[in-house]
Structure 1
Amino acid sequence: MLISQYDDTYASFREQVRRFAKEKVAPFAAKVDDEARPPLEAYQASLDLGLPGLPFSEAFGGQEGDVFTQIITVEELARVCASTATTISTCWIMMLVQRFGTDAQKEMIIPPVVRGEHRSAWGLTEPKGGSDLMGVVTSAKRTETGWLLNGTKRFITNGGWADWYLIFARTEADKFGIFLVSKDDAGVSFGAPERKMGLRGSPTSDVILENCEIPLDRVIGDPAKGGDYIRAGLLASRLKYAAHGLGIAQGALDEAIAYTQQREQFGRPIADFQMIKGMVADMAMKVEAGRTMLMHAATLVVNQLPDAKKYASMAKVLCTDAAMSVATDAVQLHGGYGFLKDYPVERMLRDAKVTQIWEGTNQIQRLMIAKDVYKR
């Protein structure tokens, strides 16, 4: 019997997060974007709900939130501020430590993250590789006293702002490990903050490792099985990135509905016009199709079914394509006002674009989907 995603518990949780997003996140969204700085107010307020610690074990102060509560949280936060959704959900990458780390690593890393004392990031992408994860050139060499890391990680979310980094590095010719690197370790430096089109409130920079030597006990699990660990983590995180796109799409639709009902032309609200209704209907269908696919994919992941990977990729494509399409139409429905920073849809359109690129571009996702379809 499949574990169901539809019950009163999840509905109540969604309402709680939605209320938090409207009251504690939305009021700062435009300011965070304009000033291109982390969403400090929302991040601090999120600690009261325990959102940074949502998926972690209660033994470490977390809430043991499952996949559904995680994607609901990301969707509702991204609905009003994509940067806040990114910043908070990036804390959850330390679930790899909970799944594969030692007891000592768990005690060192997870409780401070849950309490908001430490922030997290992971280092996968490199200057010459994004989708080709196994093509990384960052190296980790075993020494008598530890591991020596050399390489550059690019486009790192929370780069320079996080305290701990999960660095994916090559340990042998075709083997990889995941290493815990502190921002205070010798040999760690950060590039200048990236000047981005969207998600301006999410810090992004290079993480540079130059003869960075860390203790032996900073490797997660088996230093030859990092690729397996990352693939396991990416399956769940792909759902969260899909939820991120879905939240932007829903937020843009919300804004379009509100604006077209109050904007008048020719003596009546433009929501009365047939062409406007047609556009809004198409936008709503894209949002709901994405949400249905995402919930289905999450159900497969929770139940550990074979098709989970394929449907997670489908959800990522549908939800993030919806984000770009719906945000574009929302700007169109606002007319000239949609081109102004005074209206949230301008920010949402800029934020939407990266969702089609990160976590495996949508072109790569389509190749993975097609491969599975032909295989079957």
Structure 2
Amino acid sequence: MSHLEAEYRDFRTSVRRFANDELAPRAAMLDREQMPPVESFAASLSLGLPSLPYPQHLGGGEGDIYAQCVAMEELSRVCASTALAISSSWILMAVVAFGTEAQQNEVIPQITSGKARCAWGLTEPKGGSDLMAASTKAVQSGDGWVLNGTKRFITNGGWADWYLVFARTTEKRFGLFLVNKADPGVSFGAPERKMGMRGSPTSDVIMDNVALPESRLLGDPEQGARYITEALLKSRLQMSAHALGIAAGALDAALRYTTEREQFGQSISKFQMIRAMAAEMAIKVESSRSVLRHACELFIAGDPEVKLHASIAKVLCSDTAMAVTTDAVQLHGGYGYLEDYAVERMMRDAKVTQIWEGTNQIQRMMIAKEIYEAV
């Protein structure tokens, strides 16, 4: 056991217990009814999960990146949608990193107390993976800024109160802005109907002449690209853990099912082909966990190589999620194709992990760039 895992062993146990007790019973209902995890989110406040990474003086738990990844993995084992909703509360760590003390004191306690929720405002209808093609504009006006544009595929869209919006401030520069859902000119598109992550609301965030005071600008109005790149590095590790948790949950479910299911007078877990598939699934999960742990260690140490290893972790964990959930459905046979069994939901949830946080194709390009530059 690594020193990191040993340090957080009790924390992992407590989060797993919470997930099994509070999240698992609601997971199928949230998926079926496509509603946000209101009750589960409220329950998570007792364990301090939405406030996990924030400083203590702002109501947080000061959990490092490995603590965040442990929480993400354990929550995602049983309900990936709720895990996503809870971890989205961590987005405003960018305010801690780049904002003023006044901004932190105004906004962060709302998040750590659970009185408000938050979301990214990054992706656009024509942007996709090319974040620097963002067309949302922020124009200086008097003592503030006016924002116009549409953000697409926004997790917690319409459900969140605060949005960290990436907007063009000059021809080639960007800024980050704090936009509240109550600001005049902010509206939301219809909830998206998705393949998976159905318990996590997703919609457009539309800004039509949204006037903001200067106090809503985060840091330098021309350094938003640098800020968001740093924030997304941490997010990439968190979302790797999210994918890993889905895979681990599917493996758990497959092992339980194949142990209990009998054919030809014995448990199907005794069959050689079944055991070989289970072994391959375990190899994928454990190797992904090791790669993610190493990336977290590099992040904690401030090692610049974390950029490469975060991308490797994202690709490996999300590809593992898709492969393991697919095999878990196969091991359930016909039952795996039914909504009655969690692996059906897990397989649908897994797919998006290969797409968001930079598609795996984009990540592979980034990995290649890093390794060739090192030659």
Fold shared per TM-score above 0.5: yes
Alignment correspondent of 1:153 = 151
Distance 2:40 2:87 in 1: 13
Which residues of 2 match residues 206-245 of structure 1 at below 5 A?
Answer: 206-245=204-243
SS in 1 for 2:192: coil
Distance 2:119 2:373 in 1: 35
Equivalent residues, number: 373
Alignment correspondent of 1:21 = 19
Alignment correspondent of 1:249 = 247
Q: Which blocks of at least 5 consecutive residues in structure 2 are unaligned?
A: none
Q: Is 2:49 aligned against 1:45?
A: no
TM-score by length of 1: 0.98
TM-score by length of 2: 0.98
SS in 1 for 2:152: strand
Q: CA deviation at 1:9?
A: 2.8
Distance 1:226 1:327 in 2: 37
Indicate if the aligned counterparts of 1:317 and 1:362 stay in contact, CA closer than 8 A. Answer: yes
Alignment correspondent of 1:106 = 104
Which residues of 2 match residues 43-122 of structure 1 at below 5 A?
Answer: 43-122=41-120
Distance 1:61 1:5 in 2: 27
Alignment correspondent of 2:371 = 373
Distance 1:85 1:309 in 2: 24
Distance 1:175 1:24 in 2: 44
Alignment correspondent of 1:323 = 321
Distance 1:8 1:324 in 2: 28
Distance 1:189 1:112 in 2: 21
Indicate if the aligned counterparts of 1:14 and 1:72 stay in contact, CA closer than 8 A. Answer: yes
Indicate if the aligned counterparts of 2:4 and 2:66 stay in contact, CA closer than 8 A. Answer: no
Distance 1:268 1:7 in 2: 37
Indicate if the aligned counterparts of 2:250 and 2:343 stay in contact, CA closer than 8 A. Answer: yes
Distance 1:122 1:358 in 2: 12
Q: Is 2:327 aligned against 1:312?
A: no
Alignment correspondent of 1:9 = 7
One-letter identity of the residue aligned with 2:189: G
SS in 1 for 2:194: coil
SS in 2 for 1:242: helix
Q: CA deviation at 1:94?
A: 0.4
Distance 2:269 2:173 in 1: 57
Q: CA deviation at 1:8?
A: 3.4
Distance 2:6 2:303 in 1: 24
Q: CA deviation at 1:5?
A: 4.5
Q: Which shifted more, 247-256 or 38-47?
A: 38-47
Counterparts in 2 of 1:29 and 1:53: CA distance versus 1, 3 Å: same
Distance 1:134 1:301 in 2: 24
Q: CA deviation at 1:39?
A: 1.0
One-letter identity of the residue aligned with 2:261: R
Q: Which blocks of at least 5 consecutive residues in structure 1 are unaligned?
A: none
Identity among equivalent positions (%) equals: 61
Q: CA deviation at 1:373?
A: 1.1
Distance 1:7 1:345 in 2: 27
Distance 1:165 1:245 in 2: 24
Alignment correspondent of 2:344 = 346
Distance 2:99 2:10 in 1: 33
Q: CA RMSD in A?
A: 0.8
Distance 2:312 2:6 in 1: 27
Alignment correspondent of 1:174 = 172
Distance 2:285 2:7 in 1: 22
